[in-house]
Amino acid sequence: MARPVGSAQVARHYLMCRPTYFAVEYAINPWMDPDAGVDRPRALRQWEELRDLHLSLGHRVSEVAPVEGLPDMVFAANGGLVVDGRVYGARFASAERTPEGPAYLDWFRKAGYAETREPKHVNEGEGDFITLDGVILAATGFRTEAAAHQEAERFLGRPVVTLQLTDPRFYHLDTALFALSGDQIAYYPGAFSAGSQRVLRSLYPDALLATEEDAAVLGLNAVCDGRDVVIAAEATALADRLRVLGYTVHPVELDELRRAGGGAKCCTLVLRDAPV
């Protein structure tokens, strides 16, 4: 069980993308059903509530302009990985999302990020890379290639630990694990291979272990700033356990965006800018 925490919030800079063109027009993960359709105005309202919540918690939010024909661009976390102001770009696994990589990298360059890297290997940004105080956890199995882990490690100068995802419902690391305060995590063991479960138990013996029920509503696709946790409203048991540990929990309704397999973290890319 994760250790209790204090109230040490870290103010952050987030990048988000308005779901102007959000739709489910293809199926590249088990959550997507093109025949079911989406309510785009409702998705927009839910996204705006998430953005406004981030702002109300004292965080800065920048926005990248959505591109027509890229309905998944709303999931900004997949657009790159930013550590100490250095940007490791995304190279998407599916043809449908491939143009998102250059679109996000273009935003970073125009925003003044001088150190950017167009990747050689397939990776989907913070979808499969989670940065903690001392290490970056990185997943492979469905989207990101293991070779991208070494590429990111060399460029960012941070140690990267490779984990293997095995359940297609949890196709990105950020659907199965999220960072809490400092060097602590919450995760669903069933999303990982037996070897990766051993690695996680060794590195994080006090981690908060989520149930399949909470994972199945993307409860682990959450955003934590060290004090506040923004989490899927349906993940009630996980929310209760976080409150016991001293976190302030903010449930959000994002079920319309979940039709494409995304939640609060998918919509939120953390810009870990270089210290000034």
pLDDT computed for residue 6 by the predictor: 47
Q: What is the pLDDT of residue 90?
A: 98
- 276: pLDDT strictly greater than 80: no
SS3 83: strand
Res. 267: pLDDT tops 50: yes
Is residue 71 scored above 90 in pLDDT? yes
Q: How far is the first Cα of the chain from the last one, in angstroms, to the nearest whole number?
A: 36
Query: Which residue, among 195, 202, 175, has the nearest Cα to 187 in the 3D structure?
Result: 175
pLDDT of 4 above 80: no
pLDDT tens digits, 181-201: 888 999 999 999 999 999 999
What is the set of active-site residues?
A: 172, 266
Element (H, E) at 53: helix 40-56
Q: What is the pLDDT of residues 160-178, one digit of tens each?
A: 999 999 999 999 999 999 9
Tell me the CA distances in angstroms from 172 to 109, 163, 201, 246, one per residue in order: 26, 11, 19, 27
- Structure confidence at residue 5 (pLDDT): 56
The answer to whether 11 and 225 have CB atoms below 8 angstroms apart is yes
The structure's pTM equals 0.96
Q: Look over the chain and give the mean of its residue pLDDT values, rounded to a whole number.
A: 96
For 209-240, write each residue's pLDDT tens digit.
999 999 999 999 999 999 999 999 999 999 99
